[in-house]
Amino acid sequence: MVHVTIERLGHQGDGIADGPVFAPQTLPGEVIEGDVVDGRIAKPRILTPSGNRVKAPCRHYNVCGGCSLQHASDDFVSQWKCDVVATALKHQNIAVDIAAIHTSPAGSRRRAVFHGKRTKNGATLGLFGRASDILHDIPDCKLMSARIMDGFEMLRALVVLGATRRGQMTLTVTEVAGGLDVSVENGKDLDLGFRSELAEFVPNSGLIRLVWHGEVIAQNGLPYQLFGAAKVVPPAGAFLQATTHGEGVLVDAMRRAVGPAKSIVDLFAGCGTFSLPLAEHARVHAVEDVDAMMAALDAGWREARGLKVVTTETRDLFRRPLLKDELAKFEAVVMDPPRAGAAAQTDELAKSDTRVIGFVSCNPVTFARDARVLMDAGFVLDWLEVVDQFRWSAHVEIAARFARM
Ligand SMILES: C[S@@+](CC[C@H](N)C(=O)[O-])C[C@H]1O[C@@H](n2cnc3c(N)ncnc32)[C@H](O)[C@@H]1O
């Protein structure tokens, strides 16, 4: 048993004491005690609580691995997320005034990846524990949207019906207009008998679409998302901004970033989160490496009214970034790469004559790396805002504008 003082939080939100010794659910300044196993105190006892400590709002918090910062006040978490961004930029010699932080409310996550397994009396449905592979039931989760939680017992019934005797089923659940879109992996095989059981289950379930092992089993309407004026039906389990609030903030930021530009290229465009709202005022070329997402975006644009021309291109931007001549066709660039960042595309932007870039990122470290390249090529970091769609987790997102004369 040791006594240690927590000095700071690490990137996963764990407290770190000298050693280093990691301890979950602790805060800087707290004196804690516990047994250290492999450099970690799994169950710390808090001897001197921080003034930033609050009672976790969710009863599942002690066991569920879905959240890591419910024990900290909202103000502390906001400041910590801003510090994470500022520190990553400082490592690249970039000073920044963070203009704003936008935090999505509790109960607003519209997408979840749950796991389920059958038990003697029914099924366990939820998320894995912190640093463990134990599955915890989370019927009172405070993170997910009301629509997802209203469907929780229906999802449990789906696990009872569709999980194999020993396996763990994965359910990717997305809130869509009118209900839930669910994509299942690692469930029972789709033989004739099971197909008809699913066909009976779906009609009164609140499921708008059920996809089983990649195959659409049933559809009760259109599982669409509204991107601006366009209705888009994303492929099952496709990337979507985590909350409607966060999406709104990011779209607004990208509108401000591109300003009056009449032609925009949207890189890492997904299903059109930015392309379609921006097409209200500008011609947009959307580029993304998943063909089905480009097809969904295109279909959404074709059905929408009043938008400027939107074109799509399926292309791997890590291997084949847009080159200087291609970039020259657009007055502004929007990009929202995955966690790995956009190194190859950033190198081409540095060589190009591009003047305006709206940059969204879910990884401050790769963002800072790419920002350094842009700034060495004459771009100025005009403004930067922090977006916290992943409330109570250690994730942090950035929306920023780069410009050069
Ligand atoms: C963070 S998501 C953003 C999607 C979209 N901008 C949105 O807001 O919904 C990143 C996107 O980049 C795509 N992507 C990942 N690697 C890529 C690559 N090498 N080339 C092009 N697109 C890629 C992913 O499929 C995903 O849609």
pLDDT score for 1: 87
The residue type of 83 is D
Provide the percentage of residues in the chain whose pLDDT is more than 70.
Answer: 100
Q: Running DSSP on this structure, what letter comes out for residue 298?
A: H
CA angle 166/171/176 to nearest 5° reads: 160
User: What is the number of alpha carbons within 13 Å of residue 290 lying toward its C-beta?
Assistant: 17
The residue whose CA has the least distance to atom 13 of ligand 1 is 268
The pair of three-digit structure tokens given for residue 34, joined into one six-digit string: 């516990």
Catalytic residue among 67, 141, 271, 362: 362
Instruction: State if residue 251 touches ligand 1 by the CB under 6 angstroms criterion.
Output: no
Report the number of secondary-structure helices (H) and strands (E) in the chain. Answer: 10, 22
Instruction: State if residue 316 touches ligand 1 by the CB under 6 angstroms criterion.
Output: yes
Instruction: State if residue 313 touches ligand 1 by the CB under 6 angstroms criterion.
Output: no
The residue whose CA has the least distance to atom 15 of ligand 1 is 338
Determine the distance separating the centroid of ligand 1 and the alpha carbon of 287, expressed in angstroms: 9
- Distance between first and last Cα of the chain: 60
Q: What is the average per-residue pLDDT within 21-42?
A: 95
Active site residue 67: no
Q: Is 277 helix (H, G, I), strand (E, B) or coil?
A: helix
The residue type of 176 is V
Using alpha carbons, select from 312, 214, 232, 307 the residue that is nearest to residue 268: 312
pLDDT score for 96: 92
Q: What is the average per-residue pLDDT within 77-104?
A: 96
Instruction: State if residue 276 touches ligand 1 by the CB under 6 angstroms criterion.
Output: no
Instruction: State if residue 392 touches ligand 1 by the CB under 6 angstroms criterion.
Output: no
- Confidence grade of residue 128 (pLDDT, cut at 50, 70, 90): very high
Distance CA 329, CA 327 (A): 5
**Residue 360 confidence (pLDDT) above 90:** yes
**Residue 204 confidence (pLDDT) above 90:** no
Distance CA 182, CA 237 (A): 8
Determine the distance separating the centroid of ligand 1 and the alpha carbon of 206, expressed in angstroms: 29
pLDDT score for 176: 94
pLDDT score for 191: 94
pLDDT score for 273: 98
Determine the distance separating the centroid of ligand 1 and the alpha carbon of 29, expressed in angstroms: 39
Q: Of 239, 251, 254, 268, which is best to mutate to test ligand 1, by the most ligand atoms within 8 angstroms of its C-beta?
A: 268
The residue whose CA has the least distance to atom 5 of ligand 1 is 270
Q: Which residue has the higher pLDDT, 349 or 206?
A: 349
Mean pLDDT of the chain: 96
Determine the distance separating the centroid of ligand 1 and the alpha carbon of 340, expressed in angstroms: 10
Determine the distance separating the centroid of ligand 1 and the alpha carbon of 321, expressed in angstroms: 13
CB 46 within 8 A of CB 32: yes
Distance CA 317, CA 36 (A): 44
pLDDT score for 405: 84
Using alpha carbons, select from 42, 49, 46 the residue that is nearest to residue 65: 42
Q: Of 239, 339, 361, which is best to mutate to test ligand 1, by the most ligand atoms within 8 angstroms of its C-beta?
A: 239
Distance CA 27, CA 48 (A): 10
Q: What is the pTM of this model?
A: 0.94
Q: What is the average per-residue pLDDT within 186-194?
A: 96
Instruction: State if residue 318 touches ligand 1 by the CB under 6 angstroms criterion.
Output: yes
Instruction: State if residue 359 touches ligand 1 by the CB under 6 angstroms criterion.
Output: no
- Confidence grade of residue 158 (pLDDT, cut at 50, 70, 90): very high
